[in-house]
């Protein structure tokens, strides 16, 4: 379903804000990143730029603010090519929110950071102060104006970076993966802030729920070309084209549909609902790891854990949820023995001394949120072999485990690839392989799907489901929690607030709205998308019954007749998320709409009157 | 090892201060203007890596890496080292404020020489890269130790004992630095060879 | 006096001296630990809505109110004058002045103590070696201890070492009053007003900012290695891993430099950072500066003429 010639879904009058014509770009190593981009962006457009990792999204936005020079083609902003003095001025009107806020907060205090752009806009230092205060107040950081940015939390940094841009009152705001690594609370704030923003919004994201919330238009990139230019609703309503571009997140909706949505019309292609998860937690195995009244304080005095009791049984999968700073990460590092606090800590019933805790790495494997923190070798094979070598295994065994682990994470044959050159999803899987090769009894996963595109997410989920290990999962993602775990621990300010079955937890969410997981607007949007997916347009060959004047050679006459058309129509129907098949038959119906040019075409069909076909 | 305040005779402290200012000015000139912020950010990573301790028998040594800085930054290395030392002095009191010039000379000159050596000799193969990288890493430290000795010796014959000890203390560090540098260069060669090929900030 | 003088003391004196130094060192360490602990317990989140340059927030003292440019000139000048002295007595005096400065600036002593301890290794080397290796000159006083007669302690060496330690401590003590009484950007701005190129000033601030980012990155990577069983030993394998670790740190930092530079350009960077103007000069600035420089000069004169060095 590629309708490349379609007009942008939003009408605009007057000149476009951005006019991109036949833009090509190749990196110095010869790799073509953009291949003939044509795009018009009107002032006030809200565009989601989506596509697989490596499809050229980042390259495109780096053109839009002149960070990359135009090699071939045209790029016009406000009627002028984006070069020289015009580029300098344009940059002051185009705000870019990059992925890592640490890259953008390069001054000593938040004040200076916000000041930086304003002063570059030509404002006098004496007059900017109210603007700086206002900008920081609008993102809720007015109390931290003179704080050095390295003291902020990740979410605060992200908001501060946004404040730096908003202060400049940009006409265009470009966001690169704005929700990556944000916890749901912070994400909600960000969504609110962006909703209030009235200029042009261009947003790169894998998170279609987020995009659906904020954007009206979706531009799908694939291998440096624009494949679709839709309204957002059209995109999310059409799983096959999302699937084609690795964007299909419908697998998430399936789980949600089973929770508390009104039952949908039956469709055989919908996946089976997951097995009842509530019962699993009752069949308890032996305790693998246990903490009793465990406390931990950081050297700076922060009490991160305040009396945690936690027993993990063999074969169990437990989710740990809670807002950022609730003590989840500290709990993990204590379980791993990286940090050592006071209280009981036992492995398989035997209490662990401080020394023994440091040997826990032999039994417990941990996958970090950012694979960059875990990968430090020059080839994948070395990387995966590192752990088994530290265990002191013989060379053949190490080799066998490397092969096995790489195969497990679908990276067979990657032995000599350089980890640093892999894509985000591959790096994540490699990080998992490095841990799997040590064959840990317990596997700890910290936000395993952070930063992955939906396709990568689905693959990872598949891999994780296959693993036999006892698991601990830290995640903000209700879908992941529902799919992978049977038991949930809710943490809050260093304490375990709740410890119950995941099913109870998910039910609890909607009642108490603890706001711990990414529900809220997401749930709302998910439902809307589900609805949309059942009534949406299809463009595939189907039959029409017509009544219009038409021509057979010299003869022009009019009568109802049937023939095949290929154009979109709205159908109300259901179909599976993972298939392009449809439950609905290509119906024959009477249509009253026009088919431009159709009447002039030659018609070949049998006329019952004269039993002959005209030419 | 950084020289602290009060060790060097005042004339040497002032003289080396002036000399290092002159070299720093040259280093700034050699660096493309728009690359200066980049050099600053990279300096932070050198700062951090000089805090890393490598175990050595019963104790551990922290890395000095003048050679590696030179390999990676070329002419901008002196500037980076001066900045790094200034910050170390300000934040941790590693090296005195009045001895900053002397410390910068002691670390910066080896860095410049090793950078030049690496650029000339690195060749195309990994083997040669690693060899020259190790040579630059170890040589940088050796040269730094020699300069330290020279600076200490400027205090007169009473300082010869300290000087000998300082030289002796640098011997194991020299071996460690050479090996670590060789491994680092080998890693970079396989992972991101462009870092070794074009020295950041070298005016192009 | 053309001959060296010699004297022998019981060994116990030496042992006592060494023991005393060791105890003092431990005491300092312990004080630092408890002080930092107490500091955290009573710690209150600073009110970050008030700028550090506002003297009421960052502390209020003579040093806080002092114009940064004058402070830099005065204390740097004083430091060089102190370094120019030669005798341990003037070093001791300078140290006392340093202590006075810390006191006047109303700064917690713990931070200054940390600075002193950071140098202690390097300085201990001088204290240990210099008395043994200083070349005996006519008029030197040589000390030996019974039992270890072969070791001759030259008191002139000891006095040289003590002078060095004293001067180092004096300057180190000045560092806190010099740096902690104004925010770093302000101090750097002061430096640029004194002739340091603006570009270099900005580089100092940028480097300082990213040290914290890279420290965090390095720490996370070290943990990542630790959970996969990496232990630092004296072995080739350790060195290889350290090489990779350093390499990775550099790769990440180089990649970050480009991203930071992009972000700067995207916000209209044209090669200049906005430089806030913080300065106002009063009579007292001149007075303080003159006062410190005069003190330094007096100290130097005292050292050179009174003590006759």
Indicate whether B59 pLDDT > 80: no
Are A220 and A357 within one domain? no
> pLDDT of A153-168, one tens digit each?
888 899 999 999 999 9
Which pair of structure tokens corresponds to residue A271?
């996946």
Q: How far is CA A529 from CA A18, A478, A577, A582, in A?
A: 29, 17, 12, 17
CA distance A77 to chain C (A): 15
> Model confidence at A261, in pLDDT bands (50, 70, 90)?
very low
Which one of B60, B86, B94 has the shortest CB-CB distance to C118?
A: B94
Closest CA to B13 of C76, C87, C161: C76
Least confident of C27-36, C94-103, C154-163: C27-36
Whether A271 and A254 have beta carbons less than 8 Å apart is answered as: yes
Higher pLDDT, A282 or C184: C184
Q: Which pLDDT value is given to residue B195?
A: 86
Q: Under 8 Å CB-to-CB from B178, ≥6 apart: which residues?
A: B134, B135, B137, B138, B139, B141
Model confidence, pTM: 0.83
A-chain CB neighbours of B191 within 8 Å are: 378, 418, 420-421
The pLDDT of residue C66:
84
Place of tokens 């840990």: A440
pLDDT tens for C168-179 read 999 999 888 888
CATH of the domain at A326: 3.40.50.300
Worst-scoring range by mean pLDDT, A266-275, A404-413, C175-184, C269-278?
A: A266-275
Buried b / exposed e along A253-283 (16+ C-beta atoms within 10 A):
bbbbbbeeeeeeeeeeebeeeeeebeebbee
Question: Domain for residue A490, yes or no?
Answer: yes
- What pLDDT, on a 0 to 100 scale, did the predictor assign at position A268? 30
- Between residues 64 and 103 of chain C, which touch chain A (CB distance below 8 Å)? none
Residue A238 neighbours by CB distance under 10 Å: 23
pLDDT reported for residue A586: 45
The chain B residue lying nearest A419, using CA atoms, is B191
| Residues A289 and A213 placed together within one structural domain of the fold | no
Contact criterion met (CB < 8 Å) for B192 and A379: no
Closest to C199 measured CA to CA, from A219, B157, B79, A427: B79
Q: What is the dihedral of CA A151, A156, A161, A164, to 10 degrees?
A: -90
| Residue B105 pLDDT | 94
- Tokens for C55, please give them: 């003297």
pLDDT level of residue C36 (50, 70, 90 thresholds):
low
Answer whether C80 sits within 8 Å of B14, measured CB to CB.
yes
The last residue of one of the domains, among A485, A514, A543, is A514
Residue A534 belongs to some domain of the structure: no
Question: Is C233 in CB contact (< 8 Å) with chain A?
Answer: no
Q: Is there a contact between A308 and A361 (Cβ–Cβ < 8 Å)? A: no
**Chain B hits for C170, Cβ within 8 Å:** 5-6
- Residues A186, A112, single domain; the answer is yes
DSSP per-residue letters across C10-61: -HHHHHHHHHHHHHHHHHHHHHHHHHHHHHHHT-----TTS-TTSHHHH--S
**DSSP characters for A274-321?**
PPP-TTGGGS---EEEEEEEEEEE-TTS-EEEEEEEEEEETT-EEEEE
- Give contacts of A 82-141 with B, CB under 8 A: 106
Contact B184/C244, CB-based, under 8 Å? yes
- Inside any domain, residue A563: no
- Strands A470-474 and A317-321 come out as parallel
Q: In chain C, whose CA is at the least distance from the CA of B32? A: C271
Gyration radius (Cα) of chain B, Å: 16
Q: Is the pLDDT of residue A578 over 90?
A: no
Indicate the DSSP class of residue A562: E
Residue of chain B with shortest Cα separation from C137: B158
Chain A residue with Cα closest to B185: A378
What percent of chain A is modeled with pLDDT above 90? 14
pLDDT band with cut points at 50, 70 and 90 for residue C185:
confident
Task: Supply C250's token pair.
Answer: 């550099």
Joined together, the tokens standing for residue A57 give: 């999204």
**Please, which pLDDT band fits residue C94 given cuts at 50, 70 and 90?**
very high
> Which residues in chain C have Cβ-Cβ distances shorter than 8 Å to A165?
267
- Does A378 touch chain B if contact means CB atoms closer than 8 Å? yes
Summarize pLDDT for A516-527 with one digit per residue, the tens: 444 556 667 777
CB-defined contacts A:B, below 8 A: 11
Q: Which of A202, A236, A270 is the last residue of a domain?
A: A236
Question: Tell me, what DSSP letter sits at residue A27?
Answer: -
The answer to whether residues A198 and A301 belong to one domain is no
C-alpha span between C97 and C78 (Å, rounded): 10
Mean pLDDT of B67-91: 90
State which residues form the domain around A368: 280-514
Give one DSSP letter per residue of A422-489, joined into a string.
S-HHHHHHHHHHHHHTT--SEEEEESTTTT--HHHHHHHHHHHHH--SEEEEE-S-HHHHHHH-SEEE
Q: Which helix (H) or strand (E) holds C284?
A: helix C283-301
At residue C48, does pLDDT exceed 60?
A: no
Could you name the CATH architecture of B10-197? Orthogonal Bundle (1.10)
Do C234 and B56 form a contact (C-beta atoms < 8 A)? Answer: yes
Name the minimum distance, in Å, from the CA of B54 to any CA of chain A. Answer: 17
The tens digit of pLDDT for each residue in A488-513 reads 888 888 888 888 888 888 777 554 44
Beta bridge partners of A218: A48, A230
Residue A415, pLDDT > 50, answer: yes
Q: Is the confidence at residue A132, as pLDDT, over 50?
A: yes
Predicted pLDDT of residue A595: 64
Reduced to 3 states (helix: H, G, I; strand: E, B; else coil), residue A517 is coil
DSSP letter (8 states) at residue A600 = G
How far is B79 from B24, CA to CA, in rounded Å?
A: 5
- For A97, half-sphere exposure in the C-beta direction (CA atoms, 13 angstrom radius) is 29
Pairing status of strand A470-474 against strand A487-492 = unpaired
| pLDDT at A174 exceeding the cut of 70 | yes
The average pLDDT across C263-283 equals 78
DSSP chain B: ----TTSS-HHHHHHHHHHHHHHHHHHHHHB-GGGHHHHHHHHHHHHHHTT-EEEETTEEEE---HHHHHHHHGGGHHHHHHHHHHHHHHHH--S-STTHHHHHHHHHHHHHHHHHHHHHH--SSHHHHHHHHHHHHHHHHHHHHHHHHHHHHTT-GGGHHHHHHHHHHHHHHHHHHHHHHHHHHHHHHHH-THHHHS-TTB--
A232 and A290, same domain (yes or no): no
Instruction: With beta carbons less than 8 A apart as the criterion, state whether A51 and A57 touch.
Output: yes
Task: Check: CB of residue C171 under 8 Å from CB of residue C98.
Answer: yes
pLDDT of residue A96: 92
pLDDT of the residue at A330: 86
- Kindly determine whether residue A67 and residue C265, on different chains, have CB atoms separated by under 8 Å: yes
Taking 50 as the threshold, does the pLDDT of residue B4 lie above it? yes
Residues A318 and A404 in one domain: yes
Q: What value does the mean pLDDT take over residues C110-136?
A: 85
Residues 6+ away with beta carbon under 8 Å from C136: C4, C142, C152, C154
Q: What is the mean pLDDT of chain B?
A: 88
Q: Please report residues of B whose CB lies closer than 8 A to that of A418.
A: 190-191
DSSP C267: T
Give the chain B residue nearest A418 (alpha carbons). B191
As a whole number of angstroms, the distance between CA C283 and CA B12 comes to 35
The shortest C-alpha distance from C207 to chain B (Å) reads: 5
Q: Which residues contact B35 (CB under 8 A, 6 or more apart)?
A: B76, B200, B201
Q: Are residues A214 and A303 in the same domain?
A: no
Regarding beta strands A487-492 and A317-321, do their DSSP bridges make them parallel or antiparallel, or are they unpaired?
parallel
Query: Which residue from C minimizes the CA distance to A103?
Result: C260
Give the separation between CA B5 and CA C164, rounded to whole angstroms. Answer: 8
Q: CA-CA distance, A77 to B87, in Å (whole number)? A: 43
Answer left, alpha or beta for residue C127, where phi above 0 means left and psi between -120 and 50 means alpha.
Answer: alpha
Asked if residue A245 belongs to a domain, the reply is no
> Is the distance from CB of B6 to CB of B96 less than 8 angstroms?
yes
Q: Residue C31 to residues C96, C117, C153: CA-CA distances in angstroms?
A: 20, 11, 32
**pLDDT score at C46:** 55
Q: Are residues A170 and A290 in the same domain?
A: no
Name the C residues in 275-294 with CB < 8 Å from any A CB: 276-277
How confident is the model at residue A568, as a pLDDT? Answer: 59
A98 with C263: Cβ contact below 8 A: yes
Looking at the partner chain, which of B37, B186, B191 has a beta carbon nearest the beta carbon of A420?
B191
The answer on pLDDT for A284 being more than 60 is no
Residue A613 lies in a domain: no
Residues B182, B196 contacting (CB under 8 angstroms): no
C240/A553 Cα distance (integer angstroms):
83
Q: Do B41 and C82 touch (CB under 8 A)?
A: no
Q: Assess whether pLDDT exceeds 50 at residue B203.
A: no
**DSSP H/E element including C156:** helix C155-179
Instruction: Answer whether A340's CB lies under 8 Å from A331's CB.
Output: no
More confident residue, C2 or B77: B77
The tally of domains found in chain A comes to 2
| Min distance A88 CA to chain C CA atoms (Å) | 7
Residue in C184, C257, C265, C268 to test binding to A, most A beta-carbons within 10 Å: C268
Looking at the partner chain, which of C265, C267, C270 has a beta carbon nearest the beta carbon of A164? C267
| Residue A581 located in a structural domain | no
pLDDT band at C309 (very low <50, low <70, confident <90, very high): low
Put simply, the answer to whether C261 touches B38 (Cβ < 8 Å) is: yes
Neighbouring CB atoms inside 10 A of C281's CB total 10
Cα A163 from chain centroid?
Answer: 23
Q: Which residues of A touch C223 (CB under 8 A)?
A: 333, 338, 373
Q: Which residues of A touch B49 (CB under 8 A)?
A: none
* pLDDT tens digit sequence for B112-141: 999 999 988 888 888 899 999 999 999 999
Q: Are strands C148-154 and A80-81 parallel, antiparallel or unpaired?
A: unpaired
CA–CA distance, A121 with A478 (Å, rounded to integer): 43
Q: Which of A131-135, A171-175, A546-550 has the lowest mean pLDDT?
A: A546-550
Backbone angles phi, psi at C154, to 5 degrees: -90, 115
Query: How far apart are alpha carbons B82 and B84 in whole angstroms?
Result: 5
The label of the residue with tokens 């998170």 reads: A207
Between CA C167 and CA B5 the distance in angstroms is 7
Token look-up 């936000």 returns: A447
Provide the pLDDT for residue A515: 46
Same domain, A314 and A186: no
| A225 part of a folded domain | yes
Q: State the pLDDT confidence band at A260, using cuts at 50, 70 and 90.
A: very low
Whether A420 sits inside 8 A of B192 (CB atoms) is yes
Contact A413, A380 (CB under 8 A): no
For C35, the token pair is: 């002080």
A34 and A181 housed in the same domain: yes
% residues pLDDT > 70 (chain A):
75
Chain C residues touching residue B181 (CB < 8 angstroms) = 243
Cβ within 8 Å, pair B6-C253: no
C52 touches chain A (CB under 8 A): yes
By the CB < 8 Å criterion, does A420 face chain B?
A: yes
Average pLDDT in the A584-613 region? 56
Are C5 and C141 in contact, with CB atoms under 8 Å apart?
Answer: yes
Q: Which residue from B4, B54, B195 is facing C250, i.e. has the nearest CB?
A: B195
Same domain, A162 and A311: no
Residue A539, both tokens: 């463009």
Which pLDDT does position A277 carry in this prediction?
Answer: 40
Higher pLDDT, A349 or B186: B186
pLDDT at A588 over 60: no
Q: Determine the distance in angstroms separating the CA of A475 from the nearest CA of chain B, rounded to an integer.
A: 31
- Cβ distance of A379 and B186 shorter than 8 Å: no
Min Cα separation B179/chain C (Å): 7
In angstroms and rounded to an integer, the radius of gyration of the C-alpha atoms of chain A is 28
Least confident range from C42-46, C57-61, C231-235: namely C42-46
Predicted confidence at residue B199, as pLDDT, reads: 66
All residues of chain B having their beta carbon less than 8 Å from the beta carbon of residue C192 are none
Predicted confidence (pLDDT) at residue A532 exceeds the cutoff of 90? no
Q: What is the ipTM of this complex?
A: 0.91
Give the CA-trace dihedral at A187, A189, A195, A199, to 10 degrees. -90
**Alpha helix (H) residue ranges in C180-282:** 184-193, 198-226, 236-266
Residue C264: closest C-alpha in chain A? A104
C83·B63 Cβ contact <8 A: no
Tell me, yes or no, if A556 comes closer than 8 A to chain B by beta carbon.
no
Task: Report CB contact under 8 Å: B1, C122.
Answer: yes
CA distance B128 to chain A (A): 18
CA within 13 Å, CB half, A104? 27
* Least confident stretch, A239-253, A299-313, C39-53: C39-53
């Amino acid at each position: 379903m590629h309708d490349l010639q379609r007009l942008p879904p939003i009408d605009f009058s007057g000149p476009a804000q951005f006019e991109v014509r036949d833009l090509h770009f190749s990196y110095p190593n010869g790799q073509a990143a953009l291949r003939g981009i044509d795009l018009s962006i009107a002032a006030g457009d809200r565009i989601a730029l989506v596509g697989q990792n490596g499809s050229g999204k980042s390259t495109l936005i780096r053109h839009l603010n002149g960070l990359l020079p135009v090699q071939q083609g045209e790029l016009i902003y406000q009627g002028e090519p984006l070069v020289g003095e015009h580029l300098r001025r344009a940059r002051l009107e185009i705000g870019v929110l990059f992925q890592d806020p640490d890259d953008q907060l390069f001054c000593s205090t938040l004040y200076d950071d916000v000041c930086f752009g304003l002063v570059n806009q030509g404002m006098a230092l004496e007059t900017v102060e109210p603007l700086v205060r206002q900008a920081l107040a609008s993102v809720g950081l007015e109390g931290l104006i003179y704080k050095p940015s390295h003291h902020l939390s990740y979410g605060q940094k992200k908001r501060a970076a946004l404040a730096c841009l908003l202060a400049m009152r940009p006409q265009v705001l470009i966001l690169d993966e704005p929700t990556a690594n944000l916890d749901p609370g912070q994400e909600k704030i960000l969504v609110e802030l962006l909703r209030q923003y009235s200029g042009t919004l261009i947003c790169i994201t894998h998170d279609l729920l987020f995009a659906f919330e904020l954007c009206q238009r979706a531009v799908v990139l694939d291998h440096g070309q624009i494949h679709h230019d839709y309204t957002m609703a059209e995109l999310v309503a059409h799983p096959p084209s999302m699937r084609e571009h690795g964007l299909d997140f419908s697998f998430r909706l399936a789980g949600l549909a089973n929770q508390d949505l009104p039952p949908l019309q039956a469709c055989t292609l919908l996946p089976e609902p997951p097995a009842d998860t509530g019962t699993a937690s009752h069949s308890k195995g032996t305790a693998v790891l246990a903490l009793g009244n465990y406390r931990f304080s950081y050297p700076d005095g922060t009490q991160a854990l305040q009396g945690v009791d936690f027993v993990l049984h063999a074969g169990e999968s437990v989710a740990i949820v809670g807002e950022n700073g609730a003590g989840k990460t500290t709990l993990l590092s204590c379980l791993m023995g990286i940090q050592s606090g006071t209280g009981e800590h036992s492995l398989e019933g035997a209490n662990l001394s401080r020394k023994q805790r440091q040997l826990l790495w032999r039994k417990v494997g941990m996958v970090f949120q950012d694979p960059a923190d875990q990968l430090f070798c020059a080839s994948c094979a070395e990387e995966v072999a590192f752990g088994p070598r530290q265990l002191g295994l013989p060379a053949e065994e190490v080799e066998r485990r490397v092969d096995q682990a790489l195969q497990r994470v679908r990276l067979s044959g990657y032995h000599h690839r350089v980890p640093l050159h892999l894509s985000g999803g591959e790096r994540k899987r490699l990080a998992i392989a490095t841990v799997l090769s040590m064959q840990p009894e317990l596997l700890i996963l910290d936000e395993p799907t952070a930063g992955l595109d939906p396709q990568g997410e689905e693959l990872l989920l598949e891999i994780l489901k296959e693993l036999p290990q006892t698991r601990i999962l830290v995640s903000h993602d209700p879908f992941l929690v529902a799919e992978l775990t049977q038991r949930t621990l809710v943490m809050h300010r260093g304490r375990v607030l709740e410890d119950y079955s995941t099913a109870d937890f998910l039910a609890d969410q909607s009642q108490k709205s603890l706001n711990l997981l990414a529900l809220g607007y997401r749930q709302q949007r998910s439902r809307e998308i589900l609805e949309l997916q059942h009534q949406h347009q299809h463009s595939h060959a189907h039959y029409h019954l017509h009544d219009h004047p038409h021509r057979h050679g010299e003869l022009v006459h009019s009568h109802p007749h049937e023939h095949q058309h290929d154009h979109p129509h709205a159908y109300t129907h259901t179909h599976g998320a993972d298939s392009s098949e449809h439950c609905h038959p290509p119906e024959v119906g009477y249509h009253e709409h026009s088919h431009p040019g159709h009447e002039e075409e030659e018609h070949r069909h049998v006329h019952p009157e004269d039993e002959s076909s005209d030419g | 090892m950084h020289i602290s305040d009060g060790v060097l005779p005042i004339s040497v402290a002032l003289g080396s201060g002036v000399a290092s200012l002159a070299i720093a000015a040259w280093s700034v000139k050699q660096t493309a203007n728009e690359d200066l912020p980049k050099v600053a950010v990279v300096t932070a990573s050198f700062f951090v890596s000089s805090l890393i301790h490598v175990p050595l028998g019963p104790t551990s040594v922290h890395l000095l890496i003048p050679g590696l800085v030179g390999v990676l930054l070329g002419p901008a290395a002196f500037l980076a080292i001066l900045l790094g030392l200034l910050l170390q002095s300000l934040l941790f009191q590693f090296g005195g404020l009045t001895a900053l010039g002397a410390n910068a000379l002691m670390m910066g000159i080896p860095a410049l020489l090793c950078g030049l050596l690496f650029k000339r000799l690195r060749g195309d193969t990994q083997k040669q890269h690693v060899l020259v990288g190790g040579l630059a890493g170890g040589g940088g430290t050796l040269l730094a130790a020699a300069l330290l000795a020279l600076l200490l010796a400027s205090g007169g014959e009473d300082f010869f004992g300290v000087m000998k000890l300082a030289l002796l203390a640098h011997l194991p560090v020299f071996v460690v630095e050479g090996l670590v540098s060789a491994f680092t260069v080998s890693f970079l060669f396989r992972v991101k060879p462009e870092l070794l090929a074009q020295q950041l900030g070298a005016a192009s | 006096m053309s001959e060296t003088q010699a004297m022998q003391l019981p060994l116990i004196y030496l042992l006592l001296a060494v023991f005393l130094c060791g105890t003092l060192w431990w005491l300092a360490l312990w004080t630092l630990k408890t002080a930092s602990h107490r500091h955290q317990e009573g710690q209150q989140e600073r009110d970050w809505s008030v700028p550090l340059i506002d003297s009421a927030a960052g502390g209020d003292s003579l040093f806080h109110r002092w114009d940064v440019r004058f402070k830099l000139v005065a204390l740097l000048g004083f430091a060089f004058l102190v370094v120019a002295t030669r005798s341990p007595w003037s070093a001791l005096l300078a140290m006392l002045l340093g202590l006075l400065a810390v006191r006047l600036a109303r700064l917690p002593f713990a931070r200054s103590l940390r600075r002193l301890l950071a140098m202690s290794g390097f300085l201990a080397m001088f204290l240990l070696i210099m008395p043994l290796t200083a070349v005996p000159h006519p008029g030197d006083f040589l000390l030996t201890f019974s039992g270890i007669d072969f070791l001759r302690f030259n008191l002139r060496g000891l006095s040289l070492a003590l002078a060095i330690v004293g001067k180092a401590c004096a300057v180190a003590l000045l560092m806190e009053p010099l740096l902690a009484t104004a925010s770093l950007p302000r101090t750097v701005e002061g430096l640029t007003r004194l002739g340091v190129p603006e570009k270099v000033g900005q580089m100092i601030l940028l480097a300082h900012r990213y040290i914290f980012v890279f420290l965090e990155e390095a720490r996370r990577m070290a943990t990542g290695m630790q959970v996969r069983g990496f232990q630092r030993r004296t072995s080739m394998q350790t060195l290889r891993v350290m090489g990779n670790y350093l390499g990775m740190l550099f790769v990440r930092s180089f990649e970050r430099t480009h991203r930071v530079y992009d972000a700067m350009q995207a916000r209209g960077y044209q090669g200049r950072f906005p430089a806030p103007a913080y300065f106002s000069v009063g009579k007292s600035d001149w007075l303080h500066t003159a006062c410190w420089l005069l003190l330094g000069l007096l100290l130097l004169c005292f050292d050179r003429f009174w003590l006759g060095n």
